[in-house]
C-alpha cells in the first residue's frame, strides 16, 4: 500500500477505488477464464485458484481500505479530543498494553494522566507498510469475527454483513483452508460464482461505508 497524502476526501476515495479496481480486474479475468474454460488448466483447478485469489483480495482490500481511512484522519491533523472514542482508542492502545499485567494503582493513574494530557494533542500514529505492522491488520485469516472488530474500530455498521457471515467463514475461508492444505477436492462442489458475487458486494459496500463516513465526518464527536 503506497503512502500518499490523504488529507482531501477525493484523495481518500481515489486511493480506495484504485486499490479495489486492480483487485476486481484480476478477479474478473479469472472468473471469465472459469466461465469459458478455454485454458489448458482444468476447470476445477481454475476454481480452486479463484477461491484462493478471492481470499487474498478480500483480505488485502479490507486491510488497505481500513488503513487508508485512519491515515486520512491522521493527515487531517485532528486533535485527540475531537475524535470519536474508537479513534481515541487507537491513540492510547499502546499505553494500555503496558498495564495489562499489573494491579498497581500508580500505573493506572499514570496512564489516566497521560490520556488527560494528550487530549489536546494532534491525533497521530506510527505507520509502517509491512505485514502485521500496519495500524489495522487482518492477521492472514480475515474471519467474520475479525472483520466485525475492524468495522467497530472504524465506527462502521457491521450489522449489514450478518447475513453474509457464512460466506466469509464457511464458503470462503473454510474452502481456502482445504485448498491451501492440499485436501482432496474431487468430492467438493465449489459454488465459485456465488462466492465471487458475495465477496465483490462486501468489498464494494465496505468502500462505500468508508467514503460515506469520511464525507459525513462520523469520526468527529
The DSSP annotation for 27-45 comes to HHHHHHHHHH--SSS-HHH
Confidence of residue 75 (pLDDT cuts 50, 70, 90): very high
* Segment among 6-15, 29-38, 96-105, 154-163 with least mean pLDDT: 96-105
Co-location of 136 and 205 in the same domain: yes
Q: CA-to-CA distance for 52 and 179, rounded, in angstroms? A: 8
Mean confidence (pLDDT) of the chain: 85
Instruction: Say how many C-beta atoms besides its own lie within 10 A of residue 89's C-beta.
Output: 13
Co-location of 157 and 85 in the same domain: no
Does some domain include residue 221? no
Co-location of 139 and 53 in the same domain: yes
How far from 118 is each of 77, 126, 138, CA to CA, in Å?
14, 16, 28
**Which of the listed residues 98, 121, 144 is the one where a domain comes to its end?**
121
Report the domain count for the chain: 2
Does some domain include residue 220? no
Query: Of residues 190 and 212, which shows the higher confidence score?
Result: 212
> Do 214 and 72 meet the contact criterion of CB atoms below 8 Å apart?
yes
Co-location of 148 and 44 in the same domain: yes
Mean pLDDT of 46-63: 88
Co-location of 36 and 113 in the same domain: no
Co-location of 135 and 29 in the same domain: yes
**Which of the listed residues 121, 146, 176 is the one where a domain comes to its end?**
121
Confidence of residue 98 (pLDDT cuts 50, 70, 90): low
Does some domain include residue 1? no
Co-location of 187 and 91 in the same domain: no
Co-location of 88 and 190 in the same domain: no
Does some domain include residue 3? no
> Do 55 and 172 meet the contact criterion of CB atoms below 8 Å apart?
yes
Does some domain include residue 4? no
Confidence of residue 182 (pLDDT cuts 50, 70, 90): low
Cα Rg, the chain, nearest whole Å: 20
Does some domain include residue 65? yes
Q: Of the candidates 145, 152, 191, which has an alpha carbon nearest to the alpha carbon of residue 172?
A: 191
Co-location of 113 and 176 in the same domain: no
Global pTM exceeds 0.75: yes
- Residue 2: the pLDDT is 54
Q: CA-to-CA distance for 18 and 168, rounded, in angstroms? A: 23
pLDDT tens digits, residue range 196-214? Answer: 898 999 999 999 999 999 9
Co-location of 73 and 170 in the same domain: yes
Co-location of 68 and 99 in the same domain: no
Q: Find the domain containing 15 and state its range.
A: 9-77+130-215
Does some domain include residue 153? yes
Does some domain include residue 146? yes
> Does residue 183 surpass a pLDDT of 70?
no
Co-location of 116 and 140 in the same domain: no
Amino acid at each position: 500500500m503506497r503512502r500518499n497524502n490523504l488529507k482531501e476526501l477525493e484523495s481518500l476515495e481515489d486511493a480506495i477505488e484504485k486499490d479495489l479496481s486492480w483487485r476486481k480486474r484480476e478477479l474478473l479475468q479469472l472468473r471469465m477464464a472459469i466461465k469459458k474454460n478455454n485454458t489448458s488448466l482444468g476447470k476445477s483447478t481454475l476454481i480452486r485458484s479463484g477461491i484462493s485469489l478471492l481470499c487474498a483480495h478480500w483480505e488485502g482490500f479490507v486491510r488497505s481500505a481500513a488503513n487508508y481511512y485512519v491515515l486520512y484522519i491522521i493527515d487531517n491533523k485532528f486533535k485527540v479530543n475531537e475524535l470519536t472514542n474508537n479513534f481515541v482508542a487507537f491513540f492510547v492502545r499502546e499505553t494500555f498494553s503496558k498495564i495489562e499485567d499489573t494491579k498497581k494503582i500508580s500505573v493506572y493513574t499514570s496512564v489516566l494522566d497521560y490520556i488527560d494530557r494528550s487530549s489536546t494533542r494532534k491525533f497521530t500514529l506510527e505507520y509502517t507498510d509491512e505485514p502485521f505492522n500496519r495500524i489495522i491488520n487482518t492477521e492472514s485469516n480475515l474471519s467474520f469475527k475479525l472483520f466485525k472488530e475492524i468495522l467497530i474500530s472504524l465506527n462502521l455498521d457491521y450489522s449489514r454483513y450478518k447475513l453474509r457471515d457464512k460466506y466469509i467463514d464457511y464458503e470462503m475461508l473454510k474452502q481456502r483452508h482445504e485448498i491451501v492444505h492440499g485436501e482432496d477436492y474431487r468430492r467438493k462442489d465449489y459454488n465459485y460464482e456465488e462466492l465471487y458475487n458475495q465477496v465483490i458486494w462486501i468489498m464494494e459496500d465496505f468502500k462505500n461505508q468508508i467514503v460515506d463516513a469520511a464525507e459525513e465526518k462520523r469520526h468527529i464527536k
